[in-house]
Amino acid sequence: MSSPTPQPAKLLVKRQFYTFAEPPQTMQLDSGAQLGPITLAYETLGKLNQERSNAVLILHAFSGDSHVAGYLTQEDTRPGWWDSMVGPGKAIDTNIYFVVCINILGSCAGSTGPASINPATGDFWALTFPMVTIGDMVRAQKHLIDHLGITKLLSLVGGSVGGMQVLQWCVDYPHMVRSAIPLATTSRHSAQAIAFNEVARQAIMADPAWNMGDYYNGPGPTHGLAVARMIGHVTYLSDEAMREKFGRRLHTGSLSFNFSGDFQVESYLHHQGKKFVDRFDANSLLYITKAADYFDLEREGGNLLINPDLAAVSFLVISFSSDWLYPTYQSKNIVSALKKNGSDVSFCEIDAQWGHDAFLLPNARLHGLISGFLARMRHEHSIQ
Amino acid sequence: MSSPTPQPAKLLVKRQFYTFAEPPQTMQLDSGAQLGPITLAYETLGKLNQERSNAVLILHAFSGDSHVAGYLTQEDTRPGWWDSMVGPGKAIDTNIYFVVCINILGSCAGSTGPASINPATGDFWALTFPMVTIGDMVRAQKHLIDHLGITKLLSLVGGSVGGMQVLQWCVDYPHMVRSAIPLATTSRHSAQAIAFNEVARQAIMADPAWNMGDYYNGPGPTHGLAVARMIGHVTYLSDEAMREKFGRRLHTGSLSFNFSGDFQVESYLHHQGKKFVDRFDANSLLYITKAADYFDLEREGGNLLINPDLAAVSFLVISFSSDWLYPTYQSKNIVSALKKNGSDVSFCEIDAQWGHDAFLLPNARLHGLISGFLARMRHEHSIQ
């Protein structure tokens, strides 16, 4: 009898919390409001080297969390959301880099957001939570990075709303950044992207159970939130991806001639909507989509990416051919602005059929580009 | 003193009704169900010639009605939905052609649909209305065309869901059709198009006021229907169209930092949603989107457009470059199938930035192509 194949040891990570801006101190927000206290949930992988020069900050997308890779418990069956990219021996190699991932301000996975308790009132923030911007999210992250004793990040990596944070970090704290990898993102949220977000918000706010955001003692706007998520998922895929993945295949053997959902693409959306309701806060969706909509580095005729302070930052900009939420031309806009600084800017459009979702999926080309770029950064800055 | 410029006389049209399939007779539907009585609302413009050979049937899109052009009353301020295309001296010239436009089965603008009374029960059909297909819609139209004494249509013209009806007519009644102009349409509803429709349906069905379709004694699912329409409008425009039309322009002077809607694109969607609620029935949206989703002329490996009976029909297939709901490749699929019949098939992709909506908007190129094609048909068939 052969013994069972030994399971590889699970990479265990621990969710940590950092609280700052404790009253009477607060953090000033872009809206003019003051917010405090602020707690950020975060996870780290790998080891910060003695020179504190090997830190890679990973910025998550709209519905992500700090749990980027590995497992939270020995019993966990699902690893973090970017486990294909991050871990020992992977593209972002935690044997080499000290990886930090922080749940964004306004979210609902441990960091302060509308579903948190406002200690001043003892009640949920709900819609009394102030509007936050991508700039505010980054400002809060900077407090944590300072707290970790890191003065220069080797790299920043993030896709989608995470990519917006990457760019905002470079604009606001260029001297703290050696390199940056914005993926599948934009420097300016388009009218179409705003439109999709607004329809998702309207779906939530149309649900009577939303109750002007005050639903934390009940089930909440589960129907509206599911519809909002379904809208999102249509934008994360693409015409081609949906054709490949589902085509017109039926969920059951034949047409139902009723409204239960005949096609596999419908079951997929129902499933995604249902799953999301169990893990995400509807008000957080409202706040974070709004932050994305407000994101615009080209406002008032200028372009904040054109800045001599950014000349020393190296960039790897990546788009995906079938991403129609943040299409390649938007990445090219980022590239042409950055090139005006004389920066070291690499750009690649990866030919992938999975739409916007492609940045999250295992992809040898993507892994190779990122690991190669990080190795070059390490080499150029003589980092052990 | 100069006298006021005389107003051109308004082209007045009259909505008419035709009822058939009266019990004990019924019409058999694709689902196997029987339906009757069936009333169709329709309008005609121009005059049927003595040979009854100058009839052009216009098929409307999902939310259209029989009121294709002209005015219903002298006081009317808004003309029909395709008034730029249809009328005396226009591309579809009602001085030459006898134009018929029929509200589709399942709709809510005079034809039998879920908001009609089922005479057998004296109550609204609501969800007891049987599911209808594009084939059923066309079968019902055929009854009316027979009733009008027309045995051969000079042409069929329609965009979007109207284009599906054009193709279905050709497949089901090829000997009644001399020519056909399918615009901005598909022979096979794609997974992405199904996905958008399903999200719209879910938005309606998530509204508690939908009440399983039984809402005709109250205000109905106004919130859900508005969200469904907003989803539709995002698909009718395009990234480029939205950028041109709205960009990131604000509705008011500055960011609100609340959820009231900051951007003009948001106000546009709110307006479209609100307007639709006043004119359209939520259950009709469910039924008609489902009919579109079921539409597939390429089912079971065959292609119903490949048929020697279609060889005698002339086609003008038109797509629009920025239409991503029914992209050009889908029109090209129609063209290559039709060419296998040895048919006279012309194809044109019109370069237009207005997305799917382009087929409804005034466009000199579109008008020229259609009027030229119709003139050729008239000439080839020696029609006075």
Question: Which of A198, A152, A140, A145 is CA-nearest to residue A179?
Answer: A152
User: Does the CB of B328 have a partner CB in chain A at under 8 Å?
Assistant: no
Name the nearest CA neighbour of A227 among B324, B294, B239, B226. Answer: B226
Which member of B192, B203, B270 has the closest CB to residue A242? B192
State which residue of chain A sits closest to B269, comparing Cα positions: A195
Residue A359: how many other CB atoms lie within 10 Å: 28
For chain B, say whether A379 makes contact (Cβ under 8 Å). no
Q: What is the pLDDT of residues B213-249, one digit of tens each?
A: 999 999 899 999 999 999 999 999 999 999 999 999 9
Residues 6 or more apart whose Cβ sits within 8 Å of residue B216: B115, B124, B126
Residue B122 neighbours by CB under 8 Å, 6+ apart = none
Going from the C-alpha of A348 to that of each of A314, A369, B356, the distances in angstroms are 14, 9, 30
CB contact under 8 A, A194 and B227: no
Is there a catalytic annotation at residue B270?
Answer: no
Residue matched to tokens 């089901």: B172
**pLDDT grade for B252, boundaries at 50, 70 and 90:** confident
Q: Quick one: closest CA in B to A132, which residue?
A: B257
Indicate the fold that domain B193-291 takes in CATH. Rna Polymerase Sigma Factor; Chain: A (1.10.1740)
For the stretch A78-135, pLDDT in tens is 999 999 999 999 999 999 999 999 999 999 999 999 999 999 999 999 999 999 999 9
Position A384 scores a pLDDT of 77
Helix (H) or strand (E) holding B93, with range, is strand B92-93
pLDDT at A356 over 70: yes
Chain B residues with CB-CB distance to A301 below 8 A? none
**A-B contacts (CB, under 8 Å):** 161
CB atoms within 10 A of CB B304: 18
What CATH number does domain B16-189+296-380 carry, 3.40.50.1820, 3.10.129.10, 3.30.413.10, 3.40.50.720?
Answer: 3.40.50.1820
Q: Say if the Cβ atoms of A239 and B31 lie within 8 Å.
A: no
Task: List chain B residues with CB under 8 Å of A259.
Answer: 127, 201, 205, 286, 290
pLDDT in tens, A139-155: 999 999 999 999 999 99
- At B9, the pLDDT band (50, 70, 90 cuts) reads confident
Q: What integer pLDDT is reported at residue B2 of this predicted model? A: 55
Which chain B residues have a beta carbon less than 8 Å from that of A194?
248, 263, 265-266
Is residue B142 scored above 70 in pLDDT? yes
Output b/e per residue, A36-48; b: 16+ Cβ within 10 A. bbbbbbbbbbbeb
Average pLDDT, chain B: 96
The shortest C-alpha distance from A213 to chain B (Å) reads: 11
**Whether the Cβ atoms of residue B57 and residue B92 lie closer than 8 Å to each other:** no
Which residues of chain B does CATH 3.40.50.1820 include?
A: 16-189+296-380
Predicted confidence (pLDDT) at residue B300 exceeds the cutoff of 80:
no
In chain B, the residue whose alpha carbon lies closest to the alpha carbon of A131 is: B257
The chain-wide mean pLDDT, for chain A, equals 96
Cα–Cα distance for residue pair A112/A41, rounded to 1 Å? 9
* Helices of type H across A206-252: 222-236, 239-245
State the pLDDT at residue B32.
97
Any chain A CB within 8 A of the CB of B88?
no
**pLDDT tens digit sequence for B261-297:** 999 999 999 999 999 999 999 999 999 999 999 999 9
Mean pLDDT across B36-40 = 97
Q: Which of B65, B207, B323, B357 is catalytic?
A: B323
Which one of A204, A210, A231 makes the best mutation probe of the B interface by having the most chain B beta carbons within 10 Å? A231
Q: Answer whether A189 touches B (CB < 8 Å).
A: yes
B contact test, residue of A29, A35, A188, A234 with most B CBs within 10 A = A234
Dump pLDDT digits (tens) for A124-182: 999 999 999 999 999 999 999 999 999 999 999 999 999 999 999 999 999 999 999 99
Residues A205-251: pLDDT tens digits? 999 999 999 999 998 999 999 999 999 999 999 999 999 999 999 99
How distant is the Cα of B85 from the closest Cα of chain A, in angstroms?
Answer: 29
Q: Where in chain B is the domain with CATH 1.10.1740.110?
A: 193-291
User: Would you state the pLDDT for residue B6?
Assistant: 64
Alpha-carbon gap, residue B289 to B291, rounded angstroms = 5
Q: How confident is the model at residue B139 (pLDDT cuts 50, 70, 90)?
A: very high
Q: Do B257 and A189 touch (CB under 8 A)?
A: no
Token reading at B376: 């050729």
ipTM for the predicted complex comes to 0.94
Which of B198, B208, B262 is nearest residue A208 as measured by Cβ atoms?
A: B208
Which candidate from B266, B286, B293 shows the least CB-CB separation from A198? B266
In which band, very low, low, confident or very high, does the pLDDT at B7 lie, cut at 50, 70 and 90?
low
What is the distance in angstroms between the Cα of B326 and the nearest Cα belonging to chain A? 10
Residue B323 annotated as catalytic = yes
Evaluate if residue B169 carries a pLDDT over 80.
yes
Range A278-294 average pLDDT: 98
Nearest to B42 by CA among B109, B126, B124: B109
Whole-angstrom distance, CA of residue B277 vs CA of residue B339: 42
Burial label, B286 (beta-carbon count in 10 A; 0-12, 13-18, 19+): buried
Could you count the other beta carbons within 10 Å of the beta carbon of residue B113?
22
Confidence category of residue A7, pLDDT binned at 50, 70, 90: low
